[in-house]
Amino acid sequence: MNTTEEMWNKYHTNLRAFIGKRVNDKDAAEDILQDIFVRVHSRIDTLENRNKLESWLYQITRNALIDYYRSHKPLEALPEWLEQPQANREETNRRELSSCLAPMIQQLPEKYRHAVQLSAMEGKTQSEIAEKENISLSGAKSRVQRGRALLKTMLYDCCTVEINAMNQIVDYDKKEGDCKFC
């Protein structure tokens, strides 16, 4: 097959059906199909094996569908509590969590409390902590890690915590009962 027109004649019906099963809007499906053949026309020279033309076309189609869904996320009215801009909401959550964590940090043993305060509150590196405390780097790392582990245990005892894939706290709720920290 040498031309985009020949490919169109042979594959457009099957590709239209493939797209139609994945996109409910006929006009959008037709636009996606047109976009696919524009991509094919501009990238035909990247096809290394002409025997794999059909699988190449379907891969381009899948990519076009992914692009379509990325750019057409549903626009729904946000609940009133979510209307706060993301940056402000994150800052509010950080402040609330900090007010809960501060008394927990005060309950840590002195050497861990000081290491966690220097690391988390003052933004000191573990090397700087080691130098300031006149201990080895591995000693500083150990104190920060143990302090964080104790703090995490206290937090999990007090709250239900939701974390993301990067192990960062996304949300938390106070557990039923008395929490002396939150």
The one-letter amino acid at 135: I
> Is the Cβ–Cβ distance between 61 and 19 less than 8 Å?
yes
How many Å apart are CA 156 and CA 172, to the nearest integer? 9
| CATH 1.10.1740 location in the chain | 4-71
For 86, the token pair is 């993301």
How many Å apart are CA 163 and CA 127, to the nearest integer? 28
> Is the Cβ–Cβ distance between 64 and 35 less than 8 Å?
yes
Residue 134: per-residue pLDDT: 94
Does CATH place domain 4-71 in 1.10.1740? yes
Residue 86: per-residue pLDDT: 52
How many Å apart are CA 135 and CA 127, to the nearest integer? 10
Q: Which architecture does CATH list for 88-174? A: Orthogonal Bundle (1.10)
Residue-wise pLDDT tens digits, 34-52: 999 888 888 888 877 777 8
Residue 94: per-residue pLDDT: 67
> Is the Cβ–Cβ distance between 19 and 58 less than 8 Å?
no
Q: Within 10 Å of residue 181's Cβ, how many Cβ atoms?
A: 18
| CATH 1.10.10.10 location in the chain | 88-174
> Is the Cβ–Cβ distance between 170 and 162 less than 8 Å?
yes
Which one-letter DSSP state was computed for residue 178?
A: -
Question: Which residue stretches of the chain have pLDDT < 50?
Answer: 78, 81-82
120 CB-contact burial (10 Å; exposed 0-12 / middle 13-18 / buried 19+) = middle
How many Å apart are CA 165 and CA 109, to the nearest integer? 30
DSSP for 17-86, please give it. Answer: HHHHTT-S-HHHHHHHHHHHHHHHHHHGGG---GGGHHHHHHHHHHHHHHHHHHH-----PPPGGG-S-H
Query: Of all residues in the chain, what percent carry a pLDDT higher than 90?
Result: 24
